[in-house]
Amino acid sequence: MRSRWMWQSSSSGILVGLCRRSRRERPMREVERPVSEGARAMGLFDVHAHLTDRRLAPNADALVERARAAGVTTIISNGLNPADNQATLDLAARYDIVRPALGLYPVDAVLPEMLAAGVEYPRETDEPPPSAEEAIEWLEDHLDQAFAIGEIGLDHYWVPEELWVRQESVFRRLVRLAIDADKAIIIHTRKAERRTLEVLEEEGATRVNWHCFSSKVKLAVRIAAAGHHLSIPANVRKAQNFQRMVERVPREKLLLETDCPYLGPVRGELNEPANVAGTADYVAEAWGCSRLAVDEQLASNFEALFGVRP
């Protein structure tokens, strides 16, 4: 995710077909999205959404319905802290296509320490944040309900350097928790990509997806070589970095995401899971493949990471 808020609450893929080698936000519009042959034949997915966001949650019924109409069969909604994780579980209980990823946002992992030190950070509540220990204890108590662990990671953009060691310590605990529970990991990292990879390799984590990776494509290729996946957001047509990733990252390591409500294909409009269909269309164009071929490859990639078809 790109901006922050605190929720307040009581194996290898097989490519089918022939391919060449190669802030101001407007309300969501009710858009009729045609369903392609590929979408009907193969389930699409969104591996990184925030359906509990206060701008999306009131419209969850419509969002899910539009996602289904676009061919989406799985939406992984990512939690940020205990309250948001619980809201994510509640949402997943309402919709069969929503899978809960439970996590601790990298800034939240050290937020009490940041606030105590007087570090400025945008929040929408004055409620004191839970400690990392409390958040991890909550995760341990709800591991059996988690489809994946995320989002977790390292963030050196918001977090001051004096708290990097503490943040990394929490991150390592979360990675070990996921490995011990045999759960895939969904990574958020900002200005700390290389260190994040080093920690994951040191801990032996292989079932990993990097969401909205915005560093150098050369590093993305190295991440894929480590066995990890990377997901492409819905603003790919406007972002050259993601376009280069589609071209250079091995096809069996790519996934789709929205990071909704952020990073939509139309600037200023809220993003939503249905928009992964447009991303799949772009990938088909970039690869020179049919949508059916792309959908099958991506579904195989999803299964390789999460152990189930989308």
Q: Which residue has the higher pLDDT, 14 or 31?
A: 31
pLDDT higher than 70, residue 21: no
Single-letter residue type at 162: E
Query: Interhelix angle for 276-287 vs 291-306, to 10°?
Result: 110
Phi and psi at 206, nearest 5°, equal -120, -30
What size, in residues, is the chain?
310
In this structure, which topology does domain 37-306 adopt according to CATH?
TIM Barrel (3.20.20)
Residue spans of the domains in the chain: they are 37-306
Q: Per the omega criterion (within 30 degrees of 0), is the bond before 151 cis? A: yes
So what's the pLDDT on residue 280?
98
Q: Range with the lowest mean pLDDT among 37-41, 67-71, 235-239?
A: 37-41
Average pLDDT, the chain: 90
Single-letter residue type at 72: V
Question: What is the distance in angstroms between the CA of the first residue and the CA of the last residue of the chain?
Answer: 22
pLDDT tens column, 160-188: 999 999 999 999 999 999 999 999 999 99
- Region 30-39: mean pLDDT is 43
Q: Per the omega criterion (within 30 degrees of 0), is the bond before 100 cis? A: no
Strands (E), the chain: 44-49, 72-78, 98-102, 148-155, 185-190, 208-211, 229-232, 254-256
Q: Given pLDDT bands bounded at 50, 70 and 90, which one contains residue 1?
A: low
pLDDT higher than 90, residue 8: no
User: Beta partners for 256?
Assistant: 232
Structure tokens of 116? 């105590």
So what's the pLDDT on residue 38?
40
3-state helix, strand, coil in the chain (%, to 5): 45, 15, 40
pLDDT tens column, 244-258: 999 999 999 999 999
Q: Range with the lowest mean pLDDT among 20-29, 194-203, 204-213?
A: 20-29
Phi and psi at 299, nearest 5°, equal -65, -40
So what's the pLDDT on residue 125?
86
Q: Range with the lowest mean pLDDT among 5-19, 95-109, 115-129?
A: 5-19
> Taking the mean position of all CA atoms in its chain, how far away is CA 169?
22
Phi and psi at 47, nearest 5°, equal -85, -5
Using left for φ > 0, alpha for ψ between -120 and 50, and beta otherwise, residue 71 falls in left
pLDDT higher than 50, residue 31: no
- Region 20-27: mean pLDDT is 42
pLDDT tens column, 280-294: 999 999 999 999 999
pLDDT higher than 80, residue 143: yes
Structure tokens of 94? 């309402």
C-alpha span between 42 and 104 (Å, rounded): 32
> Taking the mean position of all CA atoms in its chain, how far away is CA 275?
14
So what's the pLDDT on residue 308?
98
Q: Which residue has the higher pLDDT, 154 or 34?
A: 154
Q: What share of the chain has pLDDT > 90, as a percent?
A: 85
Q: Which residues contact 29 (CB under 8 A, 6 or more apart)?
A: 269
Q: Given pLDDT bands bounded at 50, 70 and 90, which one contains residue 114?
A: very high
302 three-class SS: helix
C-alpha span between 81 and 127 (Å, rounded): 13
pLDDT higher than 70, residue 22: no
Q: Given pLDDT bands bounded at 50, 70 and 90, which one contains residue 11?
A: very low
Q: Which residue has the higher pLDDT, 78 or 30?
A: 78
How many angstroms separate the Cα of 47 from the Cα of each of 95, 282, 289? 16, 17, 22
